[in-house]
Amino acid sequence: MPGHAAASCGAASTAPPAGTSMPSSAYSVPPAGASMPPVALGQSGAFSASGSYAASANPASRELRMLKTQLNLAVGQREEDPERAWLELVSVRERVAVVVEGAREDPLLSADVERFRQRLDEQIAKLTRDVGDDVIAPLYSWLDLVRQRARLEREVESARARVGEARASRGALVTVAPGSEAEAAATLATGENELAWWKAEAPPLPSPESMGVWLESGGDALRPSMSVDPHAVRAHGLAARPIIDAAGRRAPGAVAYVGSKAELVLLPVFGASALLLSMFALALTAARAPLGVLAAVGWVAFAGVIGVSVVARQRADRERRAAIDAVWHHVLFTEQAVAVELEVGWLRALHVALKARRAFDEREGEGGQLTELGKWRPDLEPVVLDVAKTSVGPTA
């Protein structure tokens, strides 16, 4: 335009001189026919500089930014409150391990984390030198005592949970696990007595013949129909022993007469004989009396043969039921003894954990010192608890 100097217009400097060409990368709009580079969702057009996906999408990146902020805040307050600054730095050091694991697949982010760790170590070392051991030593002691107390508490809670699980696994009534050492000792004594009873009343292993009857009848499929009352199961099991002993080496229920050829022959023969004699006695008037007597004898004999078959089958059923009762007696009492032994083991662990926690709280060098440290800087107690919580691993 007239009166408008080219030097005062910024656009003039960006135009290419006449007769010259500029590389295509200098323009923000690609030439005709070219495709636009893909833009990741949530970005402003720039490519991620920390791997194959945006750094903002990586939780480790967000956690790293938070740790950097916490580090800057801790460094800023080291002059006015070095104790809190040191605890904040230690808290950052405990949490940075999680960031290291999350950044393994991103080389650039891993390098950033490593630089941050070096800076963090330098700040901790510098602060430790500046304030001296007189300030740091009580904090070290405080953290160590809180971690010990937290581990003891976790051991108690873990043992209490395992006691409840052991009771539920054996079908016993689930009650609240002991919360004090005296309650744990009383419950442990009761559990040991119960365990001794289960072990003493557990019968020996049944015979292979009895086990065969148990498996033929359905095995574990019989469990829903079996009683779980220990006294009833014990009574039935004890009553079954003489019946099984009377069978000897024969499989319980395998009575020789039941289903044998003798039974298959005697029943129709005696039945037919009694029926024929009755028909002849009715048909022949002259010989009715003697034939009637013979018919009566035939019917009595037929009834006797039927009675023998019924008794033999009842004996077979009784022996089979006795075999099932004997096997169930052994199975139930053996399983219950194992389950009660597991429960008693966890009760012992709970009693030991409660005893250790009480001893810690009552000991002046541990519980007493922890109380004194809390009175020294009550404002730091939440920070100490938070730092200790991040470094106490789960109890097995």
Give me 375's structure tokens: 């009175």
> Residue 337: its pLDDT value, please?
93
Give the separation between CA 133 and CA 136, rounded to whole angstroms. 5
Q: Is residue 370 part of a domain?
A: no
Residue 324 shares a structural domain with residue 186: yes
Shared domain for 200 and 302, answered yes or no, is: yes
- Please tell me whether residues 191 and 119 are part of one structural domain: no
pLDDT band, very low/low/confident/very high, at 307 (cuts 50, 70, 90): confident
Hey, what are 180's tokens? 């004090």
Read off the pLDDT of residues 312-322 as tens digits, 9 standing for 90 and up: 888 889 889 99
Q: How many CB atoms lie within 10 A of CB 256?
A: 11
Q: Which two tokens stand for residue 245?
A: 């002993």
Give pLDDT tens digits for 197-218: 999 999 988 888 889 999 988 9
For 122-133, the DSSP string reads HHHHHHHHHH-H
- pLDDT > 90: percent of the chain: 23
Span of 30-34, 73-77, 256-260 with lowest mean pLDDT:
30-34
What does the mean pLDDT of the chain come to?
A: 79
Whether 95 contacts 390, CB under 8 Å: yes
Domain that holds residue 125: 55-131
Residue 357 lies in a domain: no
> Which runs of consecutive H residues, i.e. helices, occur in the chain?
10-14, 59-76, 82-102, 107-131, 133-169, 181-201, 208-216, 230-247, 261-283, 288-362, 369-376, 381-391
Residue 2 lies in a domain: no
Residues 202 and 328 in one domain: yes
Task: Say which DSSP state 168 is in.
Answer: H
Q: What is the pLDDT of residue 365?
A: 66
Place 339 in a pLDDT band, splitting at 50, 70 and 90. very high
300 and 192 in a common domain: yes
* Co-location of 322 and 197 in the same domain: yes
Are 189 and 322 part of one and the same domain?
yes
Residues 192 and 341 in one domain: yes
- pLDDT reported for residue 235: 94
Cβ(240)–Cβ(323) under 8 Å?
Answer: yes
pLDDT for 322-332, tens place per residue?
A: 999 999 999 99
**What is the band of 27 on the pLDDT scale with cuts at 50, 70, 90?**
very low
Q: Which residue has the higher pLDDT, 111 or 11?
A: 111
Asked if residue 20 has pLDDT above 60, the reply is no
Residue 19 has pLDDT above 70, yes or no: no
Say if residue 343's pLDDT is above 90. Answer: yes
pLDDT band at 338 (very low <50, low <70, confident <90, very high): very high
Is 171 strand, coil or helix?
coil
- Statement to judge: residues 121 and 232 lie in one domain: no
| Residue 170 lies inside a defined structural domain of this protein | no
| Cα–chain center distance at 349 | 18
Q: What is the tens place of the pLDDT at every residue in 380-393?
A: 777 787 777 765 44
Q: Is the pLDDT of residue 77 over 50?
A: yes
At which of 101, 131, 161 does a domain end?
Answer: 131
Is residue 23's pLDDT more than 60?
Answer: no
The count of domains in the chain is 2
219 in the same domain as 93 = no
Mean pLDDT, residues 130-135: 76
Query: Quick one: 291 and 197 in the same domain?
Result: yes
Domain presence at residue 350 = no
Instruction: Say what the pLDDT of residue 183 is.
Output: 92
pLDDT digits (tens, 9 = 90+) for 30-61: 444 444 444 444 343 333 344 444 445 678 88
| 7 pLDDT above the threshold of 50 | no
For residue 186, is it within any domain?
Answer: yes
